[in-house]
Amino acid sequence: MLDVYEQTSLTRKKVAASGGYIDWLTQPSTFKHYPEFLFNYPFGAAEALHILELCRCVTSREHIGAKPYYKLNTPSAGNLHPLELYAQIRGVKGIISGIYHIDASADKIVLIQEIEADGIETAVGLSHKFDGMILIQSCVPFRSEWKYGERAYRYCYLDAGHQLASIQAAATISDQDMTILSGFDADVLNKAMGFKDEEFSCAVIALGSETEKTVNPLVKPLLHVAPTDYCDTKGNLPDLMEKEGLFTSRLFPFITKKDVVLKRRSARKFEGTYMSEDDFEQIMQHLSEDADPLECYTVVLKKCSLEAGVYHKGKIIKAGSFTDELTALLVDQHFIKNAQIVTVITSKEFSSDSLMCAGAFAHKLYLETGDKEIGFTGIGAFYDEKMQKFLGTKDHIMYVCAAGK
């Protein structure tokens, strides 16, 4: 995947070439909508659906110009949200057994197809009926490619990692065990779900248990609905994503609360003051713990209980104040100057799987800082090769995060 890493890397030349005018009126639709005639449940229709609302919901609705601007409980590069979420529900009291689309923008789940003796189980590697929920997460690359070009490959999978951790948080709050399903053909699943060449499954999560009852595969694919109002892809992003498999790595354990999940926001205005010493030390401890297959390099920008400098595995490897240098490496995003900590997440492997890992790890940090009045944000724009040289590593740069008051 080294060629994909280099192909999607940022350089000053690439940034300068892409820094033109963006006509937001041409933005593809951010949410997929199935036909209005299909049966649906509003989020509040049954207690059993609350977990799906916690997985993916709109938490802020605004208008910018003539266009609606929605923010979700999962962050997204450019607020473009190149993801969709589906759930097969079986054996849940008060809910028709079927395959549903989670329409976050309309606060509802839409029944695409009822199931009985059949289901999606065989397409996700299960041979028996599954009682509970099987969640299928997909990427819609054009939503992100429209603005970011080939770099969208990274942003789609980082966003997918955030969505995975959001599902994990919802399961934790709802006291449900979750299992990552893999080891089956993603192309078979894509066809069964009615996806074409504009949408690709990236992760499958099971909440519930497999029974001893046999199950039949779906007789035909689900109803196809285009995920955007138009698609004008100009690169090879769909081909790249079609070749990718499903998420197979581990998620990182954490504990959170419902109000933290719903009030999560990306902080782009830091005060420039200090977080408490206890909070600072707790964050530094989290960042020094094992995050295999990831590594964390943490830059302390402001001297406090620790000397300013770059830390790796709890030890300082480069002393000094690097605020200006780091701001330049992050494509001159000046809000960084008032942060207290900047963490660079790296990995020896560059793949969709490791990108999703990085997004999930960052989401864990979002939720762990969320109830401490500490601002946190993920940053996907950085000069890759220059950042590697700054850190003194040959590992791939996956993601950058900043925290502060």
Tell me the C-alpha distance between 169 and 17, whole Å.
Answer: 39
Residue among 127, 146, 328 at smallest CA distance from 237: 146
DSSP per-residue string spanning 267-278: -----S-PPPHH
Tell me the C-alpha distance between 237 and 119, whole Å.
Answer: 30
Q: What is the pLDDT along the chain (405 residues), one digit of tens a residue?
A: 669 999 999 999 998 888 778 888 899 999 999 999 999 999 999 999 999 999 999 999 988 777 788 999 999 999 999 999 999 999 999 999 999 999 999 999 999 999 999 999 999 999 999 999 999 999 999 999 999 999 999 999 999 999 999 999 999 999 999 999 999 999 999 999 999 999 999 999 999 999 999 999 999 999 999 999 999 998 788 888 888 889 999 899 999 999 999 999 998 899 888 899 999 998 988 888 878 899 999 999 987 888 999 999 989 999 999 999 999 999 999 999 999 999 999 999 999 999 999 999 999 999 999 888 899 999 999 999 999 999 999 999 999 999 999
What pLDDT, on a 0 to 100 scale, did the predictor assign at position 62? 87
What pLDDT, on a 0 to 100 scale, did the predictor assign at position 376? 95
Domains of the chain: 23-243 (3.40.109.10), 265-404 (3.40.109.10)
Tell me the C-alpha distance between 143 and 2, whole Å.
Answer: 24
Q: Give Dmax (Cα) for the chain.
A: 65
| pTM (predicted TM-score) | 0.96
Residue among 173, 200, 171 at smallest CA distance from 187: 200
Contact 382, 328 (CB under 8 A): no
The gap from C-alpha 126 to its chain's centroid, in whole angstroms, comes to: 25
The structure tokens listed for 255 are 């504990």
Q: How many residues belong to the chain?
A: 405
Kindly calculate the radius of gyration of the chain based on its CA atoms and give it in whole angstroms: 21
